[in-house]
Amino acid sequence: MDLKHVAVRLMKPGNDDELVSFGDEVKPVDSPRKHFEPHIRCTFKSLFGSVRPRRDLRSNHTDRAQFEPGRRAVLCGIAHLVPPFPPMAGRLSNDIFVTGPDNRLIIINVTANMVFEQFYLGCLAHASYLIGDGESHRAVVVDPQRDVEQYLSFAEQHDLRIEYVVLTHLHADFLAGHLELRDRTGAVICLGAEAKAEYPFKGLADGDSIDLGRVRLQALATPGHTPESISLLVFDRDRSDTHPHAVLTGDTLFVGDVGRPDLRVALGWSATSLANRLYDSLQTKLLPLPDDSLVYPAHGAGSLCGKALGNEMFSTIGEQRRWNYALQPMTRDAFVDLVTADQPDAPAYFTHDAVLNAKERPTLEESLATGLTPLTLDQLLERQREGALILDTREPADFAAAHLAGSQNIGLGGQYATWAGTILSPQRPIVIIAEPGREQESAIRLGRIGFDNVVGYLQDGLRSLESRPDLTASIERLSPAIAAERLQAQDSPQLIDVRTPREYAEKHIRGSVNVPLNHLADRVKELAADRPLLIHCAGGYRSSIAASLLSQRGFDRVSELAGGVASWETAGLPLEAGQQER
């Protein structure tokens, strides 16, 4: 293909606002530079799998752009030539390259067939994928979130039919959208061959393939995180029939970590047994893959499915072989000890979701149709008397200023779903109080973790309480200076730090008692009943959850440190390090 038939828009070095064009410019569909800037340390060859490593290339900048029609060209990278070479143009593998200003080498990959899109849900640190063949117009979605409109919209925009939906395993941290996509598109659900489920599915054994045409996915049985876990090799036949372009590793291999083997203990599996299977999966299935095969996991930093996940959303086998702590040379026993130790506490909802992902259950659309019912204040109070929990999803500062007495705050601005799954019960009815217009978002994000127990929301939000000041309450938020002054007073409050033990050990306020938020409900008897309580966390999000929980439990003198440890430190007040004494 001649360069004049390829449309590419590039950022000029040193000027992010100026674009330089090569060939006939076409309107870009998307240009997600922000996703790749954290990966500049990687070579552009590793990032995009388009050029095999060469010693005469040095990575300078990476970017990608997708273009209409048919995703004809993808910018794979810009590099400086070392040493300088005269202007030239030619081919390298399936790529066109040309030198530009300042001896930059521009690599353009002509990808007429394979469509590969990553969707990332930050609040659950969850990555899902749509892979398609532009020639056959067939596509597969891997590990979808429960609200599936984005996959349907993307498929329509790119003239693709979603024919398969694959779960790399029965996820514990979110409720997948496999049933939703099946019902909307007729897609065939695929699970690992060892899986058991109530709904019909195609079992993928080791070596089984999903053939889309010029794009092929091949299953690797990679048990360990769960017994039924699989990974998916992605072959772009325009490049190679045998050399995998990428591997979707689910929760078996992350960037910087591997999947934890202890999440099936509640269902009768031994963490040690699964850790042994994980060792075999990594050593015999994933590590033998080519170094330049891209690694696309199901989770990123912030997920509780591992203990040291990196911020990057993808990597390569070579990068992980070199840098991932769990892939370094070690004995089987050492590996088992390593991956079964120091894992973060798993929220109670994980087992609930792992079981629910194997069941035939109502779709999210069906759940919202019955749950998103507007309620008057009197109807809400009746629900509350019947045992419903009132969930206020506004931001902590707004909740502290005024809220319905007895309500629980978990703000939409933080890890809302994860903390809801940690603090709340999926069986207890929930009524939502939200900023007007955000009621549906509040319910959808609960639905993503399988909490379909929303029975309504307060119409007009907190404005409904304007005529009933007797029903409102507030929580005092103290500045660091005032908090420090009160801690020195005769009637000083008990200072409660609801961060994790690791955070506490790194730095904490002298005299504080560490009661992690996920254990607070079970440890309320350890708190002083005859003293005020001053709650704090890192920045004020978790402390609001804790303060509202304690207020529900009858503690009537609860306040918060506004801005948490961060504001205390900024104010120049002293901190110390070390574990809490037992």
DSSP state at residue 283: I
Catalytic site includes residue 537: yes
DSSP assignment of 83-141 equals: S---S-EEEETTEEEEE-GGGEEEEEEE-SSEEEEEEEEGGGTEEEEEEEETTTTEEEE
Are 16 and 58 contacting, i.e. CB atoms less than 8 angstroms apart? no
Are 381 and 405 contacting, i.e. CB atoms less than 8 angstroms apart? no
CA distances from 28 to 77, 96, 114, 118, 156 (A): 17, 19, 17, 17, 17
Q: Which residues pair with 426 in a beta bridge?
A: none
Rounded Cα gap, residues 407 and 524, in angstroms: 18
Burial class, 207, CB count within 10 angstroms (exposed 0-12 / middle 13-18 / buried 19+):
exposed
Rounded Cα gap, residues 332 and 336, in angstroms: 6
What is the token pair recorded at 577? 């390090």
∠ Cα 371 379 394 (to 5°):
65
What is the token pair recorded at 364? 């999210």
Could you give the count of Cα atoms lying within 13 Å of 131 in the half-sphere of its Cβ? 27
Q: What beta strand segments (E) does 479-539 contain?
A: 494-497, 513-514, 533-536
Q: Alpha helix locations (H) across 461-540?
A: 480-487, 501-506, 517-520
Residue 69, preceding bond cis, omega within 30 degrees? Answer: yes
Rounded Cα gap, residues 6 and 183, in angstroms: 39
How many CB atoms sit inside 10 A of residue 310's CB?
19
Candidate list 42, 190, 305, 537, residue with the active-site label: 537
CA distances from 162 to 176, 203, 232 (A): 16, 18, 17
Going by C-alpha positions, the residue among 134, 155, 312 that lies closest to residue 237 is 134
Catalytic residues: 537
